[in-house]
Structure 1
């Protein structure tokens, strides 16, 4: 990494204005990285650490519930990793994403599209569950593969080596259809209607919550999660309250003590089962689809479960969680060749380490299995064709699945492929995480609100689907999308592998790149300008000086979080519009988390006071406020508040009118002048202000910095107060790994094909 301080001595901190005010114009502030060589670049580590980090610092690694560095999901998952109370908002968002479009009542909103997609996936999962040959019945003892796996674990822990560790078998892949015959169509039943919960059920749940001292406002969520028998289920097992997103273990324990009295204890089997599943739900918010069994036991120990081993066994026997162990595949053919040669020469070879035993929730396990099977189906059923044109077009003509990588400028390549395919007479759709560059949202495509709709067999009427922003594609939407594609359809997934992953469980795009199941076409189109040069360097771990003659990148040093908020407001409201020519409404603030003295809450409060002061008569909002709408975990759309009435809060989201019912305003809406990087991923603005106060240092990683800096098109201001933490994060700060099963599932399917 190039050290900017080596080129230019750090300025004396005494030169900073005594009152901490910003200069009149951005150019007079801190010229951007390498701008005329007079200031350190956005990459430099400016000596500004004269103030102590605020007490309310952001939890390390968090972006927001569901949006931490791990790329978790909720609200864009509100305050997820920290496990804060804001997580309840994520639950609200996921349970109610049905905001209706103001343009036409018949038109589905993105929230309804999300729910429709989830219902379709649940239908697929229920179908898969019904086809399972040996289900584990609730209440029975451990049996079959699960019993063998856990018995093997016990043997290892006791010092003995098990004779054999069974492998969880995956369904045998379907054989490819003969080349001369048309591929067999996969018939998909229609998604079931959304379940309805009566007012009587909600009232009964409210009464149970009141008896246990829990907020009665949770009643609609509990009823939606537990169904018509929610009141009885909750009274019989108070720990069922943990099924509501945002509820913490200590809250459920308090509720259970109030309901059960002397019968309540830490060893209660109901508590053990519920907490085991809850730990896996929390892991899913951090991006994991499964956890090693040892990690689950450690989590149960921290929650004062007396016998965590028995708790895990009970949770598996009750079918609350599933147990898996995939075989470790060799990294390459060399390992197998070396082993065979050693055997011939009579030399022993150390055994390959056994794969860990994993625990997971059925919902995510079936989604990963469905996704793996669906991708293998697309690969097998495509009819190769010779397409002229760039490398991406030739690959798409030959293969059923193609992966495309590149930065923001590279998005034009898959978009051009879609246009060329339409010209060939093919049925084509261009989709993305959010609507941008002519792409429709994935949720809207699945629901039929946009795109070609479904054919007579229930599949999307497509010959080619191109998906942009593939790293933001979550596990369950990806599974639903692939399930909906007809046999023989081509799928192109395109995205920047350096950005933050999806805010939720899974790492679909990264797993596919690692699995080598499809050709990978890497774009050679660089992102232009000083911002593109800066972001490209960050992607390879280098924070370089860049020439910024037009003030494209500016560094604004700050001493503490209070000054960071002050300078941010001045940049957005005055300096950038006046000096750069970008209006306030086209400037987006990005920070590390929701909490802390310079998180989104503090910044949005200060920006509202300056830009649109008002009493917040409707749930804290006034007409003209910028809002961040999260109708479902992992998706955030920015808009402007237009009006409010008895129906709800009316938003203008990029020309689309959305109505958020008043009962969901608190759970689905935040002010949107400031976002986290996870919320901002997949979108860009003419100008961006990235705020890095001292207490945010623990939340930085290379993917976070890359994503945040890359949201700016024309101008980037960095409010810099983290000193050496910024270059350290770029050089060393790799986001935490996620435990997933997609790659081993794909490896197994490919191995079966090779053996056949």
Structure 2
């Protein structure tokens, strides 16, 4: 059923504010179709991921000289430096371990033989040929990795200089690119990605160009043919190794931290690789990817005993009906992050002490769910808390209770808007910071001599937006005994980066999980609650809280959206245009963010765009790092860069970063809008967006409005079908089994 308010819902400036009829053309349900940012996933993890946003195609043919500039490196220097330090620390810890990854110790028969081979390959005791049936070819030269940044030593880090290539390195790379017919614009990002020796790396292995964001296999193939001539072919080991890494990187953009080995081999066959199994084997041997097999056997039960209980054969006896063992391939950065995160969470769980008496604080809680959360935090080092927008008052009550007990408590949010709302709920402006500001040292309590945050309780709101690398970095910075509360709405879109930390923690049942019983009020809250369980219901909207605006095509959708923001919502609802946010499915297309922003700028702040397409007063969003969208407005521009006002904080974006990190923001994607709320929201659903809709997308977009929601509706029955039948796309991760395998404290 199509959602609409009961009763009359006329808009004084838009005569078609009426319920959408249930009849209309049918649209196919296609989970996994390209999402709002072209990632090939309904969750849209590619939005803001690894500078891929905004990248355009290179010329495939050798000799091409024109192509858009590939995205530059992220501007979040402090975050990147901290992340590099984390990886170094994890690698040192991993090197100190005597054995391989402790998974699968209870397998038997062919599964045990396979796992033994996997571990032998990982440890270097045997070549990769023991794992695959195909013989190994002579290995190609090892991939050259960029030099690691030095570890941070100060507890409160200074902002390091951004990592960039030297002019000499970029010039050398430009020469190689010219020889291969690739655009010179790729020189700087290629040098930054591959290091100071990038020119030599590309001469030796032209397919290393695939590691530059935005480059596709067919483009790297053309570059390689131009450099190497007819001597290179589809089965060149340098090519197949690069393709395996590229496939895993693409999977990470869709949120996966690992891929099934069979899927990788199938994908390689699609790129004309003759022997995909041998290609994967070579990539494992070269260290391009790691290989894992998770333990699904019962912990603590010897094989013979379990065989007696279940009647299954034991040992090496034939097992005709045994399910195939799933083998996963993963990039080391995500594997190490997941292992570090699992170890860190277990450390917090096992180091927790009861300490202060929370009984009175729980009894004085403003709601039963808040009291339950306080009691859970009193006895556990890790707690998961889930609920909608109104339920955010519960972790706020926990922070206030911790302050009352003399504990150092802090809340973090995904956005500055969330920070403002949390601080207001706690009643203390110092009680909330953004997660990015905490990790970079810009805000928060500072660090102790060991580099840990000076905190007793840390509450992380908007936890579904937490990717695995950021989570690992955060947990690594928490001292033993710190209580960590992960709080969020499980119905919203997942993180822009790889992983599904919040969902994996809940699924692993490794900590108490408090589910709020406080519903979101009003017609919007009722509508969103139904979407969360797969139902698009009718809601009463006596104050025009929810309005449906039917449209026939994308052009009309743009026209009606501008009309709503500029005229209808301010007049009928009383919300001014600056407080109304437009949310649409993607950046491209006739009714994407680009087209909508152009139309809204023309109406609300017309100008020549003299600052690289921007004028003073333009609403913009600054993306300093993947997954972060900071709203602001343009103030001015000079030789230093574009000057922005981001919620009262002055920000200067260098000229070379403006094109890739600043967008107009009258219209945003749902991923960019996650973690933020506005008094009024206009959600645009043009007809060409039907196959990109999913329940999490609709839930996220519809729940961004506080007082009013207008839906510019052009997808007919695709909307209720997406809510009912297209749930979140599953992400392949290893965190849940890692958490399930960890020891937990005794119940006593």
1:400 matches 2:394: no
Query: 8 Å contact 2:31–2:42 — kept in the other structure?
Result: no
For 1:45 and 1:479, the matched residues in 2 are separated by 48
Q: Partner of 1:75 in structure 2?
A: 48
How far the C-alpha of 1:126 sits from its partner, in A, is 3.5
Partner residue of 1:551 out of 544, 557, 571: 544
- Greater mean alpha carbon deviation, residues 247-256 or residues 500-509: 247-256
User: Partner of 1:245 in structure 2?
Assistant: 213
Structure 2: how far apart are the matches of 1:577 and 1:233? 58
- Selected match of 2:494 from 485, 498, 501: 501
**Equivalence for 1:301:** 269
Asked if 2 retains the 8 angstrom alpha-carbon contact of 1:48 and 1:557, the reply is no
Q: CA deviation at 1:206?
A: 1.9
Q: Secondary structure at the match of 2:743?
A: helix
1:144 pairs with one of 113, 117, 120: 120
The 3-state SS of whatever aligns with 2:499 is coil
Counterpart of 2:564 (choices 560, 565, 571) is: 571
- Aligned match of 2:74 in 96, 99, 103? 96
8 Å contact 2:258–2:331 — kept in the other structure? yes
1:216 is displaced (CA, Å) by 1.5
Do residues 207 (structure 1) and 175 (structure 2) align? yes
User: Of 327, 336, 358, which residue of structure 2 is paired with 1:387?
Assistant: 358
The aligned counterpart of 1:131 is 96
Question: Which residue pairs with 2:326 in the alignment?
Answer: 356
Whether 1:623 aligns to 2:591 is: no
The answer to whether the Cα contact below 8 Å between 1:89 and 1:667 also exists between their aligned partners in 2 is no
- Alignment correspondent of 1:484: 477
CA distance in 2, matches of 1:728, 1:467: 33
Farther off after superposition, 203-212 or 726-735: 203-212
Q: 1:14: which partner in 2?
A: none
Unaligned runs of 5+ in 2: 59-66, 102-116, 136-151, 363-370, 424-431
C-alpha RMSD over aligned residues: 3.7
- What is the deviation of 1:272? 0.8
The question of 1:539 aligning with 2:532 is answered yes
| Aligned counterpart, 1:60 | 33
1:370 matched to 2:340? The reply is yes
Shift, 1:353, TM fit: 3.1
How does the TM-score come out when normalised to structure 2?
0.83
Residue aligning to 1:122: 87
Tell me the equivalent position of 1:417: 398
**Which shifted more, 596-605 or 448-457?**
596-605
Matches within 5 A, 1:671-750: 671-750=664-743
In the TM superposition, what whole-angstrom CA distance separates every residue of 1:272-317 from its partner, at most 9, and x where no partner exists?
1111000000000011000000100111111112221111111110
In the TM superposition, what is the alpha-carbon distance from 1:468 to its structure 2 partner?
0.3
Unaligned runs of 5+ in 1: 12-21, 31-38, 98-110, 159-186
| Deviation of the 1:342 alpha carbon | 3.7
436-445 or 376-385, which deviates more: 436-445
Asked if the contact 1:287–1:503 (Cα under 8 Å) also holds between the matched residues in 2, the reply is yes
Cα shift readout 1:239-258 (whole Å, capped 9, x = no counterpart): 11111111111111111112
8 Å CA contact 2:70, 2:186 repeated in 1: no
1:563 & 1:416 partners in 2: Cα distance?
Answer: 46
Aligned pairs for 1:520-669 within 5 A = 520-669=513-662
Q: How many residues align?
A: 676
| 1:131 to partner: Cα distance | 2.9
1:73–1:505 contact (8 Å) kept in structure 2 = no
Contact 2:68 / 2:185 at 8 angstroms: preserved in 1? no
Match of residue 25 from structure 1: 13
TM-score (norm 1): 0.82
Q: Measured at CA, do residues 529 and 337 of structure 1 come closer, stay the same or move farther in structure 2, by a change above 3 Å?
A: farther
Q: Distance in 1 between matches of 2:571 and 2:631?
A: 24
Could you tell me how far 1:447 is from its partner in structure 2? 1.6
How far apart are the structure 2 equivalents of 1:7 and 1:469?
A: 32
**CA deviations over 1:200-238 (Å, ceiling 9, x no partner):** 112212222222222222222112111111111122111
**236-245 or 432-441, larger mean C-alpha shift:** 432-441
Q: Kindly state the Cα deviation for residue 417 of structure 1 after the two structures are TM-superposed.
A: 0.9
Q: 1:270 to 1:133 in 2, by over 3 A?
A: farther
1:662-712 deviations in Å (ceiling 9; x for gaps): 001111112111111111111111111100111101011111100000000
